[in-house]
């Protein structure tokens, strides 16, 4: 799944502890961009009449339960969205999602996020965007913004080269974000050879990865994360 600012961002030391690699991890939806790319995608698919009414109803029920913070099957809802692409050539779907990014997501990419990523990259940090959204969307963003690594939700491709509605592995959500960052760091640099220097997130589900970072940034946080940020003394950024 991996492919190879703020004033406080520039205040960190220039060398990682004991020469270790530094990771700067950015959430995507609500942090790097204004809004939520899966929600925007569902809206886009509705406009294109690519989702059946019964599928859309199930997605909306899931969204309502999510807002109430009820336990949800993260893989299942992504499978529902991908019924729009099931059986279609992966190359065709990836191109569709790249166009969707250009039309709907690129205009809401936050300049503050772009500047923070650039500042981290310039000081030698390994910048990673981590997201529960679909991988082709993040890969398109990577073409236009200063990050060279990403961890996102990948959908399974069948042997014939078409997309299925199954998630490959686990959706990169909540605790899985931190687990995915650890796997990335260990695979890229080796266990013990890296540190999670900085993490940026907007949602209470980002608490795990923010708690593990040496420098945590709550970006325009939701109410639960705002409370946690105050309690933990994390920097709150209004992007």
Question: Of the given ranges (73-77, 124-128, 209-213), which has the lowest mean pLDDT?
Answer: 73-77
DSSP string, 122-166: HTT-EEEEEEEEEHHHHHHHHTTSS--EEEEE-EEE-TTSBEEEE
Provide the 10 A C-beta neighbour count for residue 48. Answer: 11
Chain segment 180-196, per-residue pLDDT in tens? 999 999 999 999 999 99
| Per-residue pLDDT at 67 | 63
Which of the two residues, 170 and 34, has the higher pLDDT score? 34
Instruction: State whether the Cα torsion 180-183-187-191 is positive or negative.
Output: positive
| Per-residue pLDDT at 3 | 40
- Within the chain, where are the H helices? 37-47, 53-67, 74-81, 90-100, 111-122, 135-142, 175-189, 207-212, 223-232
Structure tokens at 88: 């279609």
Which of the two residues, 131 and 12, has the higher pLDDT score? 131
Residue from 33, 38, 12 nearest 123 by CA: 12
| Per-residue pLDDT at 15 | 47
Is residue 140 predicted with pLDDT exceeding 70?
Answer: yes
* Mean pLDDT within 133-160: 97
Question: Using an 8 Å Cβ cutoff, are 166 and 86 in contact?
Answer: no
Chain segment 162-175, per-residue pLDDT in tens? 999 999 998 898 89
Q: With bands split at pLDDT 50, 70 and 90, how would you rate the model's confidence at 66?
A: low
């Amino acid at each position: 799944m991996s492919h190879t600012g703020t004033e406080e961002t520039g205040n960190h030391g220039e060398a990682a502890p004991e020469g270790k690699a530094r990771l700067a991890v950015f959430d995507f939806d609500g942090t790097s961009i204004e809004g939520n790319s899966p929600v925007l995608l569902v809206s886009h698919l509705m406009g294109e009449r690519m989702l059946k009414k019964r599928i859309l109803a199930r997605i909306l029920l899931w969204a309502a339960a999510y807002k109430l913070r009820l336990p949800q099957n993260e893989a299942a809802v992504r499978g529902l969205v991908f019924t729009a692409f099931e059986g279609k050539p992966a190359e065709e779907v990836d191109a569709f999602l790249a166009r969707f990014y250009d039309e709907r997501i690129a205009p809401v990419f936050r300049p503050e996020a772009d500047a923070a990523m650039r500042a981290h990259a310039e000081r030698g940090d390994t910048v990673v965007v981590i997201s529960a959204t679909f991988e082709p969307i993040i890969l398109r963003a990577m073409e236009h913004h200063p990050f060279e690594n990403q961890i996102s939700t990948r959908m399974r491709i069948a042997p014939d080269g078409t997309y299925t509605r199954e998630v490959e592995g686990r959706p990169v959500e909540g605790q899985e974000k931190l687990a995915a960052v650890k796997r990335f760091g260990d695979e890229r640099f080796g266990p013990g050879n890296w540190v999670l220097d900085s993490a940026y997130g907007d949602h209470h589900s980002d608490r795990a990865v923010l708690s593990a970072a040496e420098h945590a940034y709550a970006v325009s946080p939701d109410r639960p994360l705002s409370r946690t940020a105050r309690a933990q003394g994390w920097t709150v950024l209004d992007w």
